[in-house]
Amino acid sequence: MSLHPRYSSYPDRIRERAPGQGAPDDGTLYLWVPDAPLLEKLADALAASGRERFLSASCAKVPIGAGELDACVLDLGERLTEAEARRARALFVPGDEDPSLDEFGRIASLHELHMASQTGWLLEQFEEGRITSHFQRIVHVGDTSRVFAHEALLRGKGRNGELLEPLGILRRAREAGLLQDIDLAACRCAIREAANLPASVTVFVNFSPAMMEDAEACLQTTMAAIHAAGLAPERFVFEVIEADRIQDAERLKDV
């Protein structure tokens, strides 16, 4: 199963009017801020990233070339604090038209767009194999020389070379509304890398309760990945991550 292109993975309410596959066409990113100091910092951030901008008393208009929206949003998100990005409102309008009244329903915080862009970037890293799984041995408590299983752990680097923390990845995905996409990507990654382990090794794979929102599709995708890797399904044990609360234990048992 292919991963979503970044922009088509944005939550529906902040997509362009006619979202397609891949990056959006050129257009204008509108950014509204509640006060002059934040507008000044936003203007400085745009200038530092070399972007053209047109300023009014409370708004910045930023021309966006085809495929440049994510890069612009990611740059701004890194130059502003999270609190500042939450206070700035954003709307991307494709083409050279002004925003219509209907489009104002798609306004989101700059923070939301930043989380969506970050998560889309992470999905691409999974697709390209730059985020991968390493395996930690689980040993018997009575005899630590005996290996019981191997647990898959996410490992990779961010856009600036920083180490990625798995919980940070999940937090970004949750805020962007793409937790299930990231969870499935991580699951497929663990299965793919498990093919490099001896055939007798049991593999533990973590998953989020978000997978249960569309459990049938997630299970089909997971089993397809296991069969595609030529592995035996009974080698895998799936466990719920500790970071999420399980809202429906009975539903979990059914799954």
| DSSP annotation of 219 | H
Mean pLDDT in residue range 219-246: 87
pLDDT in tens, 158-200: 777 778 777 777 777 777 777 788 888 889 889 999 999 998 8
Q: Taking 70 as the threshold, does the pLDDT of residue 8 lie above it? A: no
Per-residue CA distances from 64 to 24, 29, 48, 92, 216 (Å): 10, 7, 16, 9, 39
Q: Does the pLDDT value for residue 103 go beyond 80?
A: no
Residue 154 φ then ψ, to 5°: -70, 140
Q: How many CB atoms lie within 10 A of CB 221?
A: 16
Q: Which residue matches tokens 């509640």?
A: 34
Span between the terminal Cα atoms of the chain, in Å? 21
Torsion of Cα atoms, 182 then 222 then 232 then 165, to 10°: 10
Question: What is the Cα–Cα distance from 67 to 90, expressed in whole angstroms?
Answer: 17
Q: Where are the beta strands (DSSP E) in 37-182?
A: 54-55, 59-64, 89-94, 108-109, 132-140, 143-155
Please check the confidence at residue 213 and state whether its pLDDT lies above 90.
no
* pLDDT greater than 70 at residue 152: yes
Span 116-121, average pLDDT: 79
User: Is it the case that residue 18 has pLDDT exceeding 80?
Assistant: no
CB burial readout 179-209, b (16+ within 10 A) else e: bbbbbbbbbbbbbbbbeeeeeeebbbbbbbb
22 pLDDT band, cuts 50/70/90, is: very low
Where do we find the tokens 């002004």?
98
Helix-then-strand count for the chain, H and E: 8, 9
pLDDT confidence of residue 223 = 92
